[in-house]
Amino acid sequence: MSSERAVAINAVLKASQLCQQVFRHLIDGETITKSDRTPVTVADLGAQAVVNEILHNSFPDDVIIGEEDSKILRGEDGKQLREKVLSLANTVLDTPLDDEKLLEAIDRGSHPGGTQGRMWTLDPIDGTEGFIRGDQFAVCLALIIDGHVQLGVMGCPNFPVDHKTPEGEKGCLFVAVKGQGSFQRKFTSAEETQIRMTDISSPSDASFCESVVASHSSHEDSAKIAALLGVTKPAIRMDSQCKYCSVARGDADIYLRLTRGDYLENIWDHASGSLLIQEAGGIVSDIYSKPLDFSLGRKLDNNKGVIVAHPKIHSQVIDAVQKVSLNK
C-alpha cells in the first residue's frame, strides 16, 4: 500500500488546499448566505476533480465512488460556475485541466460500487455546515478492495493539532492502512505520529462525540444512552468524519450516529473513519453490533446507525443503544 498511501495523501492535501482557498476568498467575510451555496459547490466539485484526476493518473484501472457529479457545470448555464471550479482546480494540480477534462474527472466518481475489485470512495467535503462556519470539515478518501476498506486518508484543515490547545496550530492529516496502525501528521510536516484510542474500561469514564446538527442523528437519544451508561462528561460536538479522528486519538471515547427512520448511510461518510478507528484499537459497528458492510454499492444497505467505542466498553454501549433505539 505504500504507493496508494502516498498518492492518497497527496490528493487529499491538494484538495484540502483548494477548500481552504475557497473559504478564504468566497466565504470568509460573510459573503455566503443560506440561499447562495455557490462557494460550497465550487469547493465540492473542485476537490472531487482534483482527487479523481490524481487517482486516475496513478491508478487508471481503479474505479471511484464519489459524492458529486458534473451536471450543474455543463452547457451554457453552467459556464460561469464551471470556470470557477476549473480555475481553482488548476491552482493545485501539476498538469492543468481544460473544460472537458474537468467534467470527465468529476464524473469518474459515478461508479455504483460492489463486492469485487479495487475502488476508491471520496467525500470531497464532509461536513458542509462546518465548512461554511469555518469549523470542522474533512476531505475523506478510502480504498476498498473486495468490499473491505484497506486504506483511509482524511484531511482536516481546521482540526487542532493538539485538542488541549484548540486555538493553537490547526490542520491535520489522518492516515490508516489495514494492519499497519493509525497515524496523524500536520499539514505543515511529513512527520507522522501513531495514535491510539484511550484505553477505557468503564463507560462512566467516557465522553461522547456527536454531530453539531441533529439532521440524521438524534441528540435526544444520545442523552438517554449517556444516562444509562453513567456518562456525565459533556458531549464534544463537531461536524464531519473529524469525529472519527477525535475518538481515534483519544480526545473523546464514544461516537454515536443514531439514524432516524429508514435513512441509509453513504459509504464515503464512514469508510476512511471506520478504518482509522479499527487501526487505533477501536470497534466500529451498527446498532446491532454488525460490522459496516462496504460491499453493497454506494450505501450501507445492511447497516443501521454507527457505534464507535473501545472493545472493553463496546458491548455495554450497544446494550444501552438498543434499549433506547429499539424500545420506541
Residues designated as active site: 44, 128
In single-letter form, the type of residue at position 215 comes to S
What are the grid coordinates assigned to 151, written together? 486504506
Beta strands 236-237 and 208-210 are parallel
**Three-state SS across the chain?**
CHHHHHHHHHHHHHHHHHHHHHHHHHHCCCCCCCCCCHHHHHHHHHHHHHHHHHHHHHCCCCEEEECCCCHHHCCCCCHHHHHHHHHHHHHHCCCCCCHHHHHHHHHCCECCCCCCCEEEEEEEEECHHHHHHCCCCEEEEEEEECCEEEEEEEEEEEEECCCCCCCCCEEEEEEEECCCEEEEEECCCCCEEEECCCCCCCHHHCCEEECCCCCCECHHHHHHHHHHHCCCCCCEECCCCHHHHHHHCCCCCEEEECECCCCCCEHHHCHHHHHHHHHCCCEEECCCCCCCCCCCCCECCCCCCEEEECCCCHHHHHHHHHHHHCCC
- Give the integer Cα–Cα distance in Å for 305 and 253: 17
Give just the sign of the alpha carbon dihedral 79, 85, 90, 93: negative
